[in-house]
Amino acid sequence: DKAGHRHFMAKEIAEQPSRLTSALDHYLTEDGTIRLPAPGIDFTDVDRLTLVACGTASYACLVAKYWFEQLAGLPVDVDVASEFRYREPPIPPRTVALFVSQSGETADTLAALRYCRDKAQSIVSVVNVSESSIARESDLALPILAGPEIGVASTKAFSCQLLVLAVLAVEAARQRGKLDDNALADRIAALRALPGLVNHSLGTSDETGRIAAQLAEARDILFLGRGRMYPLALEGALKLKEISYIHAEAYASGELKHGPIALVDKSVPVIVMAPHDELFDKTVSNMQEVMARGGQVLLITDREGARVAGHGVWETLVLPDVAPLWAPILYAVPAQLLAYHTAIAKGTDVDQPRNLAKSVTVE
Ligand code: F6R
């Protein structure tokens, strides 16, 4: 049931405020403390996290790496499951292996989990389908509470995966003595603000549609982001490829001059995801290098970012202000809406893109 929407994907994008609220209610108590299901995780007993997943879920892991490392001082390795499982990586003691999967049935992710389990590792999973193999074979399965996701392109599962990983990173920081009570309350209040902000940014849908009608003409599109926005650039490019079939690539914006800038000319739209955060100026200087070569920049930012750097860009999409740490959860929305509207403009099958399956149970 598409609940009045044209596609499941549109419905699932629109559901995000309520799905994020469900996840927040599940993991946060009324008095603002974090509640993990038993047996929980003792982060004081952990020296390293290994995060493993495929596709969009692996981008959620990449964002989480920034969070765990910056907030909790906990080193994180991220790997795609198909590489991890065959590399036979050594697993140091005091490592937690964490698997992220919407379906909980992805063959490579499950095989990677079993590899770690055979090494007597402690296994945590972040899953949408609670009855899945990955959930069942974990010591601790953390549900994302996104509800059934039908559209092949993952949307609400991504934002809910990010939210659960954010809660986990805050909890790790708390246990490891990296957050005092005030800082903890601030982080949690900022998480609580997300459903409202996501709801607000859904209001950019019409404007995104207008921009997407022009993106639909492009043959190649570049996405750029820095720091915790780099994985969002990857997600934006993946989403666009999947449903609009336009070739899109993402780079950490600092990598631009190490190669990809050779691609830039006026036929290549460049989408820059950059809230006005501590790395904004660096990203803007990369953006200016693109503009100096005729690149058509779509800047996705906040009001301050648009004020400081909006002149001369092709288009600007302005999102509400958000705590910089949690910006990836908010910026997932324009990444999804751009792909959705570009696919609509091209007339492709949004919910059932060619060659793709919702759950990849063969390797
Ligand atoms: C992208 C997408 C895929 C999945 C990937 C992992 O929109 O849906 O990249 O994220 O196949 O699937 P799960 O999360 O079910 O393990």
Ligand 1 midpoint to CA 90 (Å): 26
Quick check: helix, strand or coil at residue 256? helix
pLDDT by residue for the chain (363 residues), tens digit each?
A: 999 999 999 999 999 999 999 999 999 998 889 999 999 999 999 999 999 999 999 999 999 999 999 999 999 999 999 999 999 899 999 999 999 999 999 999 999 999 999 998 999 999 999 999 999 999 999 999 999 999 989 999 999 999 999 999 999 999 999 999 999 999 999 999 999 999 999 999 999 999 999 999 999 999 999 999 999 999 999 999 999 999 999 999 999 999 999 999 999 999 999 999 999 999 999 999 999 999 999 999 999 999 999 999 999 999 999 999 999 999 999 999 999 999 999 999 888 888 888 888 888
82 lines ligand 1 (CB under 6 A): no
Report the complex ipTM: 0.99
Per-residue pLDDT, 353 = 86
CA distance 27 to 182: 19
Per-residue pLDDT, 285 = 95
122 lines ligand 1 (CB under 6 A): no
Per-residue pLDDT, 345 = 97
Could you identify the atom of ligand 1 that is nearest to the CA of residue 157? Answer: 14
> Per DSSP, what are the bridge partners of residue 76?
49
Nearest CA to ligand 1 atom 11: 55
Could you identify the atom of ligand 1 that is nearest to the CA of residue 242? Answer: 7
Asked if residue 103 lies in contact with residue 131, where contact means CB atoms within 8 angstroms, the answer is no
Per-residue pLDDT, 354 = 86
Per-residue pLDDT, 214 = 96
Per-residue pLDDT, 305 = 98
161 lines ligand 1 (CB under 6 A): no
Ligand 1 midpoint to CA 272 (Å): 24
DSSP assignment of 5-34: -SSHHHHHHHTHHHHHHHHHHHHB-TTS-B
> Per DSSP, what are the bridge partners of residue 52?
79, 99
Dihedral-angle region of residue 89 (phi above 0 means left; psi in -120 to 50 means alpha; beta otherwise): beta
Could you identify the atom of ligand 1 that is nearest to the CA of residue 54? Answer: 6
Q: What is the dihedral of CA 93, 160, 329, 226, to 10 degrees?
A: 40
324 lines ligand 1 (CB under 6 A): no
- Which residues form the catalytic set? 358
Ligand 1 midpoint to CA 179 (Å): 33
Nearest CA to ligand 1 atom 10: 56
Ligand 1 midpoint to CA 296 (Å): 30
Ligand 1 midpoint to CA 129 (Å): 13
CA distance 360 to 4: 29
Per-residue pLDDT, 32 = 86
